[in-house]
Amino acid sequence: MTSEPTPTNASSLLKAGTLFCVASAVAYTAYNVCLRWVSSQCDPTWINCVQSSVSVAVFGAYLLWQAARRRPALPPWIEVAALLTIGLMTQAGNILFIWSMSVVGVAVTATIQTGVMLAASAVLGLIVLGERVSWTQVAAIGLITFSVVSFGMGAQSAGETSADPLSSSVVLWGLAAAMLAGLAFAVLTVGVRKTVTGHTSPEAVVFLINLMGVVAMGPWCVHRLGLDTLRATDPRDLGVMLAAGGLNLIAFLLVTKSLQTISVVRFNVLNNGLTTALTAAIGIAIFAEAWNTPVLLGILLSLAGIVVISLAAPETPATSVDLVPTVEAETCERKSS
């Protein structure tokens, strides 16, 4: 018979889960920093292809090992087909996310992407899954909407006064790309919950999602850029891309450990809020991204919306499927991938 955890053990588990959650936020922040580092120097499709290859290699090897031990490695083929389709959309979102960084910076891009992802997940959850949307979530969506408007005003002004001024249309496209990336990761979240059964391992889901970043985007890179261009990638840039993939993988493992001992709500508030705040601060402080009052207001409104919409979610225990969307957003989020 299993004994109930004592208050001391419960407190220790809560502290450990919180520590893993904070560590995953740091890993996701470092992942965003790596992508930002190479976003202005390399093609976003190539960046996404290389960083996705890390998860494909590691989880592919794990699934082969599972198959060799006569254990189920992949879900039913209908789920495989659904996940590959969702994966293609997710990889398109990743590419938009990386390109947006090169236009409006990681501070604005990461904040908009996370806010739109959570808001769109609530709306799609209502439409596709029939999940209830509370008035608190509606208020959070309103905060995020106002933050995007504020970002639009601030980013255009900052772009015009920066050392390398961008046209208003390019800035708006950059903001739109960040929003579309958030929508793609929301589709990932809802799509996985809709199509994947509880018997499908998170490793299989992440493998199939990232596989599309290699098998679909890899040939496209070769066709569009040419092998000579890809081989000429600076080794340092290539190392940063691989590091991004490794950090995404580490963040995934930390997420799985964290969700074993803390609730999904607590995790979302800590992870999404901390990742967004750290990424925004690093974008402004280290990458010297242009900022002004509307940009800072947009960051604060998005952070408020992220916390409110996370707190409005039901207090439910984590399942194997719950572990996946957090990685890609995205990721991979995560994110990401």
Residue 221 has pLDDT above 70, yes or no: yes
Mean pLDDT of 265-279: 81
Q: What is the pLDDT of residues 273-327, one digit of tens each?
A: 888 888 888 988 888 887 778 878 888 888 888 778 767 655 444 443 444 333 3
Q: What is the pLDDT of residue 321?
A: 40
CB 295 within 8 A of CB 150: yes
Mean pLDDT of 203-211: 92
pTM above 0.95, yes or no: no
Q: What is the pLDDT of residues 109-149, one digit of tens each?
A: 988 898 888 888 888 888 888 878 788 878 878 888 888 77
Q: What is the pLDDT of residue 10?
A: 67
Residue 214 has pLDDT above 90, yes or no: yes
Q: What is the pLDDT of residue 84?
A: 95
Confidence band, pLDDT 50/70/90 cuts, at residue 337: low
Q: Considering only CA atoms, which of 295, 307, 306, 309 is closest in space to residue 149? A: 295
CB 35 within 8 A of CB 98: yes
Residue 8 has pLDDT above 70, yes or no: no
Report the SS3 class of residue 161.
Answer: helix
3-state secondary structure 191-242: HHHHHCCCCCCHHHHHHHHHHHHHHCHHHHHHHHHCHHHHHCCCHHHHHHHH
Q: What is the pLDDT of residues 57-98, one digit of tens each?
A: 999 999 999 999 988 888 889 999 999 999 999 999 999 999
Q: Give the highest mean pLDDT range of 21-25, 50-54, 126-130, 327-331.
A: 50-54
Confidence band, pLDDT 50/70/90 cuts, at residue 197: low
Better-scored residue on pLDDT, 152 or 239: 239
Report the SS3 class of residue 336.
Answer: coil
Residue 161 has pLDDT above 60, yes or no: no
Q: In whole angstroms, give the CA distance from residue 166 to residue 155.
A: 10
Q: What is the pLDDT of residue 328?
A: 38
Mean pLDDT of 238-258: 92
Residue 329 has pLDDT above 70, yes or no: no
Mean pLDDT of 43-66: 96
Can you tell me which residue has the tokens 């790309």?
177
CB 103 within 8 A of CB 44: no
Q: In whole angstroms, give the CA distance from residue 155 to residue 295.
A: 7
Q: What is the pLDDT of residue 285?
A: 86
Please provide the DSSP assignment of 287-311 as one string: S-----HHHHHHHHHHHHHHHHHHH
Q: What is the pLDDT of residue 335?
A: 45
Residue 259 has pLDDT above 80, yes or no: no
